């Protein structure tokens, strides 16, 4: 798809690239607004707006992941479906943290969901794009054109597909457990330090 029609500039993008850019556009708007509010010391009064923008980031991400123009099928589709679960939890937690700004559980769930999303993106990158990490019985199939390169993981048999999906489910569970372990270990220490400094009673 040709976006701009200038004599010496050829900007050719595919629709899924626009969808990814739209996700990052919302993130940039949220980050820019929150940073400027922080630098001007007006974040306290604008925390509701910042929270709504954070929720819009996750809402837009969920919308674009669910109605993506690229059909993610097979193993790649399963990884994207699990990602949608994380983004949905992030959206609900962002709305809860915005509605109840003093709620520690809402803030904790939001923070955990954002960390989980980042870890899941990295896991997806390795499992779907690095041939050495692709599950046994599956392989990366790369197709390239003059403008871009696409890849998909194809499994050789139904059993290999089921095994790869089960591995994705276990990775999902292990990553979430690891994040909760770090929270469970660090939160009592942080709480103790805050009590020593007199920040909480």
pLDDT digits (tens, 9 = 90+) for 67-91: 875 666 789 999 999 999 999 999 9
More confident call, 72 vs 105: 105
Nearest to 16 by CA among 60, 67, 74: 67
Mean pLDDT (whole number) for 140-144: 74
Q: What is the pLDDT of residue 114?
A: 95
How far apart are the C-alpha atoms of 123 and 121, rounded to whole Å? 5
* pTM value > 0.85: no
Residue span of the structural domain in which 39 resides: 2-130
- The answer to the question of residue 91 being in a domain is yes
- The answer to the question of residue 170 being in a domain is no
DSSP 135: P
- With cut-offs at 50, 70 and 90, classify the pLDDT of residue 9: low
The helix/strand/coil state of 2 is: strand
- The answer to the question of residue 189 being in a domain is no
For residue 154, pLDDT beyond 80: yes
- The answer to the question of residue 48 being in a domain is yes
201: number of Cβ within 10 Å: 5
- The answer to the question of residue 198 being in a domain is no
Contact residues for 129 (Cβ-Cβ < 8 A; gap 6+) = 140, 151
Mean pLDDT (whole number) for 193-197: 76
Number of domains the chain contains: 1
- The answer to the question of residue 57 being in a domain is yes
Interval 18-45: pLDDT, tens: 777 777 888 889 889 888 888 888 877 7
How far apart are the C-alpha atoms of 147 and 150, rounded to whole Å? 10
- The answer to the question of residue 180 being in a domain is no
Lowest mean per-residue pLDDT among 9-18, 67-76, 98-107: 9-18
The helix/strand/coil state of 122 is: helix
- The answer to the question of residue 103 being in a domain is yes
């Amino acid at each position: 798809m040709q976006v701009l029609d200038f004599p010496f500039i050829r900007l050719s993008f595919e629709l899924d690239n626009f969808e990814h850019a739209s996700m990052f556009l919302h993130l940039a708007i949220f980050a820019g607004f929150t940073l400027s509010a922080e630098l001007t010391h007006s974040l306290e009064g604008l925390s509701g707006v910042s929270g709504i923008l954070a929720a819009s980031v996750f809402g837009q991400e969920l919308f674009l992941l669910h109605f993506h123009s690229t059909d993610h099928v097979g193993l790649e589709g399963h990884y994207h479906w699990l990602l949608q679960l994380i983004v949905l939890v992030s959206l609900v937690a962002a709305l809860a943290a915005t509605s109840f700004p003093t709620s520690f559980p809402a803030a904790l769930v939001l923070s955990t969901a954002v960390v989980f999303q980042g870890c899941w993106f990295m896991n997806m990158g390795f499992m779907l794009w690095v041939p050495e990490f692709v599950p046994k019985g599956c392989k990366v199939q790369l197709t390239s054109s003059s403008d871009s390169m696409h890849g998909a993981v194809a499994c050789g048999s139904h059993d290999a597909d089921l095994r790869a999906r089960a591995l994705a489910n276990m990775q999902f569970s292990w990553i979430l457990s690891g994040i909760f372990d770090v929270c469970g270990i660090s939160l009592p220490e942080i709480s103790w330090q805050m009590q020593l400094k007199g920040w909480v009673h």
